[in-house]
A and B are shown apart, each in its own frame.
Chain A
């Protein structure tokens, strides 16, 4: 299938969003009551933001909710029935940034591994991803270091690029073509100049990254070959306040625990976000904890994110360079800081 490369005028965009709203639930970044951008289900075509800093909470909440009912359990007399709960509602994720598209790809790859997770995959199968490329990199992003942006080369259903007066729309799938098909009259094929302009914007954007860089390759060599001193992990562990924010905010983190709630013969089994940085995450019933120390837990987290062993399995680092952990981490043990410490063989000097 040949991808379509089209454009749409900015003045027509609301009309397109209106058509999308008729085909399913649309989730997009909107301006929240406290002034910040947040992913939210929209009701009207004017709501989505088109120029915004990527919301602090990634769209993960819509694919893998913090509290996710997955099994309904019923007991009637002596008979217990167990039925999976699926969410098959069609959803369109509009104006999702490249890093978050890569994050969703990472989550999907994990949930496809055997045993495949039908709860996640059925929800994911009904999602259409309409990405908005970043022609201006965000302040703390370093997606360019993990090949997750600022523009996507695949993995999207539609990728939009802001050309000034118009948006360029590249389709990446049949779902993407369908999304455009809801209002195909608003689109016209892109000119050669418009395609060239998109390429120029990507080149310029790649050169405009800010303060954050993250040299994964050298950190990966050290982590994968156990050449990071335990003393360094222990020292960095002293700066971790065990909030779990790095996990919850990370577009690629998916660890969970399972809890049942209900009573009187009806229960719901829920999947709930969990954090590998919590002491009790690996606590065993005997009281033994294989990762009792903060440093050990941090080592585990970064091994999963940055080691060659996992890179081979997952086909990507477990970091899409969105920079959100820099904002949420209470102690400053975010991805770029830890990667830098590993390369330097020292945490910050005092």
Chain B
């Protein structure tokens, strides 16, 4: 039994564990007490992390599609073919793009971005999960004026107040939920805002139940009450737009329970504000993120030690993917593509002139490019477009998939390059606290697979953008130069032990505060709000779908509800005269759909939630907007 200290590949909490391998195969997990994030605690996903690499369908040979069939070929032939076809497309004036992944390492994502910009000469570069988390990060930036240091999970434990804008934290980020529970046992006040009485809402000191999409309204009320409670303009000097904010909130009234909650926040020595992405509803979730950041700023909990905001990113390396420049309008360092200084820096590191102008994001890329390189991801499983993304991918003239697992993208690809899973690769990932951590190989690469960074380096070399990297660490050293916030971290990361370093991030000092715009979604004719529940479906991720233990829930749900379902409060179901499993007809401005219901205790009346995994079943009534008003009747 060989034991390897590594980082969990699931959510962006970034827990660490020892991956145990027997005869070269991942066979178990042991917790590590000294890990700076997890300290010996893991969630179910972490405890079962060894399963997917050893039980999953693995890609073992490079393959090229010939006569509609993928045929194994030697590596050189596959790489030459991929480079040649991409060059042909570019020469013919057709657009090409690259999608990295929130499941890939920083080194892989950095080289994917570099391949696009320096090799393919395009800014069509992104990662699919970016579609889900971009509005959230943008909303925070709107207030802080740039990236700002998130609060660390362990610091949440010593907060006096925690504000949680809920998805379902206990399910999405159990390690973060553990920190909130720890704070709660120490006597912290927990204010949960959401539409369903989730586990966290049940242990909260105050649960503000609101319709999906109306979180901003509740936060506005908290904000109005907090401004009154915070005394005379303590933070005004640091907040641009403070007077306008006061004006906007003049008319907002607060109930006693909101006023009390606002007092808890205002009086707290330390407070944490946790918010996750919501699927679709881009602009609305950007506004919600901005107003929660505003609440943190005006109560003096932003830009100081021990307090702060935490964007709850769903997948392990979403932040790292942003940091290394996997965005059509950002460079390594997450700096705007038009920033002259950043451009010069990256150009000098790469020795290449950068293409200018923002490229296409993931959603548009799959619809518009003729050649696409997809690293470790399945766009249809991540993007809100679902099966429409699948159809778009299948129309692409030349699709290249680099993955460890046999995913639907691999089945549609024209060229397949097998790369290592997290269990066999060397590299780093960056968690949602902005902590860079090591990923280490616990066993040998299966079949002819190579480490992802090596495959991308070979491809880059063939497209005139090669480098002199001999290891993942060499790539990291280059990232240090290209993305300044990673600079100087290598010494701590390659120091043995867990290898963990917080990135250099500025503390915001001035804020652009703003209230949330509120709007009524429902009408007399369509009195229900239908929204997606969650912004990511683990059941569609190979790390879960290939794990015998972890896939049980999602598989049984898919078996029991092949046509999806919506969740409805028991009171609403009784009022409509429908029982669990019965069908209802939903009608929105977009169209109609008939689906069975499940009763959900503690769901707000007038709310219907559709699991993100089943978004395709409801595409007739609800699509990219992520939230809509519907009429409901018994079918």
Contacts and interface: CB of A to CB of B under 8 A. Distances in A.
Interface in B510-565: 548-549, 552-553, 556, 560
Interface in B21-43: 22, 27-35, 40-43
Given A241-B178, A257-B548, A330 B43 contact: yes
Interface in A12-67: 32-36, 38, 40-41, 56-57, 61-62, 65-67
B498 interface: yes
Interface of B (DSSP majority class)? mixed
B81 to A, nearest CB: 28
A272 B548 contact: yes
B481 interface: no
A34 B31 contact: no
A330 B178 contact: yes
A328 B174 CA distance: 12
Contacts of B1: 40-41, 61-62
Nearest to A348: B185
Contact of B41 (A242, A243, A278): A243
Interface residues of B, number: 49
Nearest to B57: A263
A331 B556 contact: no
A33 B496 contact: yes
Interface stretch (A100-108, A183-191, A207-215, A244-252): A244-252
B43 A61 contact: no
Contact of A56 (B30, B47, B552): B30
Nearest to A67: B27
A245 B33 contact: no
B170 A283 contact: no
B178 A327 contact: no
Contact of A330 (B28, B174, B203): B174
B54 interface: yes
B31 A245 contact: yes
Contacts of A238: 199, 202-203
A243 B43 contact: yes
A34 to B, nearest CB: 5
Size class of the contact patch on chain A: 35 or more
A194 interface: no
Contacts of A257: 548-549
Given A65-B28, A67-B27, A40 B41 contact: no
Given A56-B33, A65-B22, A283-B552, A330 B40 contact: no
A346 to B, nearest CB: 14
Contact of A328 (B20, B40, B497): B40
B175 interface: yes
A243 B181 contact: no
A228 to B, nearest CB: 19
B41 A66 contact: no
B469 interface: no
Contact of A36 (B32, B41, B175, B548): B32
Contacts of B5: 32-34
Given A38-B3, A332-B182, A348-B185, A66 B50 contact: yes
Contact of B560 (A65, A287, A327, A329): A287
Interface in A250-296: 257, 259, 261, 272, 274-275, 278-280, 283, 287, 294
A61 B2 CA distance: 12
Given A280-B556, A330-B175, A61 B28 contact: yes
B178 A61 contact: no
- Among A66, A245, A329, A350, the most chain B Cβ lie within 10 Å of the Cβ of A66
B91 interface: no
B92 to A, nearest CB: 42
Contacts of A61: 1, 20, 28, 30
Interface in B10-24: 18, 20, 22
B181 A330 contact: yes
A310 interface: no
A311 interface: no
A350 B202 contact: no
Nearest to B496: A33
B497 A329 contact: no
Interface string B169-186: 010001101100110110
A10 to B, nearest CB: 27
A66 B27 CA distance: 7
A302 interface: no
A303 interface: no
A56 B31 contact: yes
B560 to A, nearest CB: 5
Interface in B182-208: 182, 184-185, 187, 199, 202-203, 205
Given A32-B3, A32-B18, A280-B552, A330 B31 contact: no
B44 A275 contact: yes
A67 B28 contact: yes
Given A36-B32, A261-B55, A241 B170 contact: yes
B549 A332 contact: no
Query: What are the 10 tightest A-B residue pairs by CB atom distance, in nearest-first order?
Result: A66-B28, A280-B552, A330-B178, A57-B30, A67-B27, A241-B174, A259-B548, A243-B43, A287-B560, A238-B202
16 contacts: A33-B496, A56-B31, A61-B30, A67-B22, A239-B203, A257-B548, A272-B51, A274-B549, A278-B552, A280-B553, A283-B552, A283-B556, A327-B33, A330-B175, A331-B177, A331-B178
Interface of B: 1, 3, 5, 18, 20, 22, 27-35, 40-44, 46-47, 50-51, 54-55, 170, 174-175, 177-178, 181-182, 184-185, 187, 199, 202-203, 205, 496-498, 548-549, 552-553, 556, 560
Given A241-B43, A249-B31, 20 more contacts: A56-B30, A61-B28, A61-B30, A65-B27, A66-B50, A67-B50, A67-B54, A239-B203, A243-B42, A243-B47, A243-B174, A245-B47, A248-B47, A275-B44, A283-B553, A327-B33, A329-B41, A330-B181, A331-B178, A348-B185
